[in-house]
Chains A and B, each alone.
Chain A
Amino acid sequence: MPRTFLDIFGNPLLALGAGIGGVMTVLSLNTLFCIWFERKVSAWIQRRMGPMEVGFHGTLQTVADMIKLLGKQLITPRGVDKPLYHLAPLMVFAPVVAAASLLPFSKTVVLTNINIGLVLIFMFGGFAVIGIFMAGWGSNNKYALLGAMRSIAQNISYEIPLILSALPIVLLISAKGPMYEIEGEMIAINGMNLAHITAVQADTGVWFVLLQPVAMLIFFIAILAETNRAPFDIPEAESELVAGFHTEYSGMRFGLFFFAEYSNMLIGSMLATVLFFGGWDGPILPGPVWFFLKAYLLIFAMMWIRWTFPRLRFDQLMTFCWGALIPLSIVNLLVTAFLIKVL
């Protein structure tokens, strides 16, 4: 089983520092890359060039944008609820860092190896809603409040199919247990341990997307909704709510929301990679490369969807979740459980 940072560094504080440093580096680079990538993908879809001025094919454009954001004045509108308004960007951003530290990006080394990793990731995902609501409520802005209202309803609803579509994987892993042999080593296998989920897929050579295609689709759709991506970008629907919950944020405070959004995309795609696409499993190339490659392919799919489809209406979104996704994921879960029992 992979070694954790704690095993490597020995000292918990040292491991914590290295972990946070590593995660922040990856997330920052990811945000810089994703913004550029998104602009290039949209440009490609729309037959434009996209950013071309700063650096080779505009690669440094986001760096320049980030510097501009850092230099901007932080405007605090009159009448905001100060504690909520100031805390909100942090409340949205902090869980992202915590969630990112749980993902097994390589076969040999991981940041943490927790037996309830899957549950923890969903929990950290749930935290973001609180931050969004704090931002919407504290901003003293009507559009922000409407955006926050929508966001709460949407995120809470879509967490259900998200978790329900991940549960069949837990069942599949647990069915292999309680003891499972990986490369000559017997381990007590745990369905909610992300490292185990990857290891079993690599060991059997069957990625769970083959066994659970329906769950994968539901999971991907729910991830789109959880990360507020089009066609589910209703909390910040630009043409309706100006910018939704972060309407009143400027400068780096807005930057943090942006940062969190792209980091959430990465974490969502990585989680989908772990659950359905065998994580670091792949031939020739080293594990982490495969891991990131698969995650970015999913991110590309998310961008593709965003630049192709119009936005759903709020009630249609909820109907889609409660009327289609949740029943479908429950049926899928029951069928999986039944088949595991029978076969």
Chain B
Amino acid sequence: MNQSAPDTLERASDDETYYLNMGPQHPSMHGVLRLLLHLRGEKILDCEPVIGYAHRAHEKMAENRSYIMFIPNTSRVDYLSGMIYNIGFCQAIEKMVGIEVPARAEVIRVIVCELNRIQSHLLWLGTFMLDLGGVTPFLYCFDDREEILTILDRVTGSRLTYAYGRFGGVTMDVDDVFIEQSRAFLVRLRERFLMYHALIRENVIFQERCRGVGVISEEIALKYGVTGPSLRASGVEYDVRRAEPYGGYERFDFEIPTEKAGDCLARFDVRVREMEQSCRIIEQGLTALPDGPIGPKKLIKKLKPPKGEFYFAVESARGHFGMYILSDGSDTPAKIKLRTPSFSSLSSMPDVLRGTMVADTIAIVGSIDLVIPEIDR
């Protein structure tokens, strides 16, 4: 691994290299990631990510249960954008089998998914600032995030690991209180954005820590398959919601924020602007919420998709989440392979981290928004 060190940095001989195991227990590794750093002084010569500490065999579990029984698993793959994974899996199966989704259910799905995306980005924003040593924004972000969790909890019955999606709809209908709460939250969040801008974005120390740090060039990003906000920060306008529209996203008006620089600051800007776009989507959804059923009359419990392979992707908070489903015609999948975005983002790290400082490692790893259980699955 990593044979191609840049020419500017000569490789140290082994007795001069300081090996530092960052993780699996470390305050800024967001769970159980382990980075084996090769250091000279504080400069990073090389980095080897070691994964697998949160492996729960979700893909294997899928082979032992029917399609509907796999729904709760999906939100546990990435517990921060659980809703998007959850609904994404349902959408995949719907497309595979050809189930119609009522208009109301479709809009509800978009709203809850975008709420989930904002929630995920808010958590990222807080922990990223925590990585940079700013404790206070972390608590502000969690305060905002709590509102979303409360709203979603009321509708779906769970705060983080949802099982809200069903084939052909959602489990529970939303009511006026949900709409009111969501509207109130959007108003509140837009005010908070101003504060975050003043507190974080305009801070000189923050800018110094982020500008030009951890540049993921377009080339590296495409080479490793980095997706999501990290890719858009490198100047590639790719968003599954726009590239291969699904679940009614084509009817919504929103922008895909992109930045050119590819550094931590660009990734910060992209995510913050993405939250604003999500707010726009939610607003449109709340206004255009049609009446009607929220799912098929009779819950689809048993379904046998036709024999064959199928691939479907959605845009999670971290990027392109793809599901490859192999069906043998029975009611259990023969194989489900999940393509999770954090894995690809992490793969690019050795190339990005080489030549930076230990303190930068924390900033860079924080800025690409990793969710470790999602890497290991």
Interface residues of A (CB under 8 A from B): 42, 45-48, 142-143, 146, 149-150, 230-231, 233-234, 237-242, 307-316
Q: Please tell me the number of chain B residues within 8 Å of chain A, measured between CB atoms.
A: 30
* Interface segment out of the listed B94-102, B105-113, B200-208, B321-329: B200-208
Q: Which residue of A lies closest to B28 (CB)?
A: A239
> Chain B 344-377, CB within 8 Å of chain A: the 1/0 string?
0000000000000111101000000000000000
Q: Which residue of B lies closest to A48 (CB)?
A: B139
Is B358 a contact of A239 with CB atoms below 8 Å? no
Interface residues of B (CB under 8 A from A): 18, 20-21, 26-28, 41-42, 129-136, 139-140, 143, 199, 203, 205-206, 208-209, 357-360, 362
Contact of B205 among A150, A233, A242, A312 (CB under 8 A): A312
The interface centre, meaning the residue of A149, A233, A240, A312 with most chain B CB atoms within 10 A of its CB, is A240
Is B359 a contact of A310 with CB atoms below 8 Å? no
Report Cα–Cα, A234/B18, bound state, in Å.
Answer: 19
Is B203 a contact of A309 with CB atoms below 8 Å? yes
Contacts of A309 in B (CB 8 A): 133-134, 203, 205
Is A47 a contact of B132 with CB atoms below 8 Å? no
- Given A46-B136, A310-B132, A239-B27 contact (CB < 8 Å): yes
Contacts of A230 in B (CB 8 A): 133
Contacts of A142 in B (CB 8 A): 18, 20-21
Contact of B42 among A42, A46, A146 (CB under 8 A): A146
Nearest-Cβ distance from residue A188 to partner chain B, whole angstroms = 46
Q: Which residue of B lies closest to A311 (CB)?
A: B133
Is A46 a contact of B140 with CB atoms below 8 Å? yes
Contacts of B358 in A (CB 8 A): 146, 240-241, 314
Nearest-Cβ distance from residue A221 to partner chain B, whole angstroms = 13
Report Cα–Cα, A141/B206, bound state, in Å.
Answer: 29
- Given A308-B136, A314-B42, A231-B362 contact (CB < 8 Å): no
Is A240 a contact of B359 with CB atoms below 8 Å? yes
Report Cα–Cα, A45/B139, bound state, in Å.
Answer: 10
Nearest-Cβ distance from residue A321 to partner chain B, whole angstroms = 14
Is A307 a contact of B136 with CB atoms below 8 Å? yes
- Given A239-B362, A240-B358, A314-B42, A231-B133 contact (CB < 8 Å): yes
- Given A47-B143, A142-B18, A142-B20, A316-B208 contact (CB < 8 Å): yes
Report, nearest first, the 4 A-B pairs whose CB atoms are least far apart.
Answer: A311-B133, A310-B134, A310-B132, A239-B28
Contacts of B199 in A (CB 8 A): 308
Report Cα–Cα, A129/B29, bound state, in Å.
Answer: 29
Is B357 a contact of A313 with CB atoms below 8 Å? yes
Contact of B133 among A46, A48, A237 (CB under 8 A): A237
Report Cα–Cα, A48/B41, bound state, in Å.
Answer: 40
- Given A42-B135, A240-B358, A242-B27, A313-B209 contact (CB < 8 Å): yes
Q: Which residue of A lies closest to B132 (CB)?
A: A310
Is B140 a contact of A313 with CB atoms below 8 Å? no
Is B136 a contact of A312 with CB atoms below 8 Å? no
Nearest-Cβ distance from residue B125 to partner chain A, whole angstroms = 12
Contacts of B206 in A (CB 8 A): 310
Q: Which residue of B lies closest to A315 (CB)?
A: B357
Nearest-Cβ distance from residue B276 to partner chain A, whole angstroms = 22
Contact of A231 among B28, B129, B139, B205 (CB under 8 A): B205
Nearest-Cβ distance from residue A54 to partner chain B, whole angstroms = 22
Report Cα–Cα, A309/B208, bound state, in Å.
Answer: 12
14 A–B contacts from the bound complex (CB under 8 Å): A47-B139, A47-B143, A237-B359, A238-B133, A239-B28, A240-B28, A310-B205, A310-B209, A311-B132, A311-B209, A312-B205, A314-B358, A314-B359, A316-B209
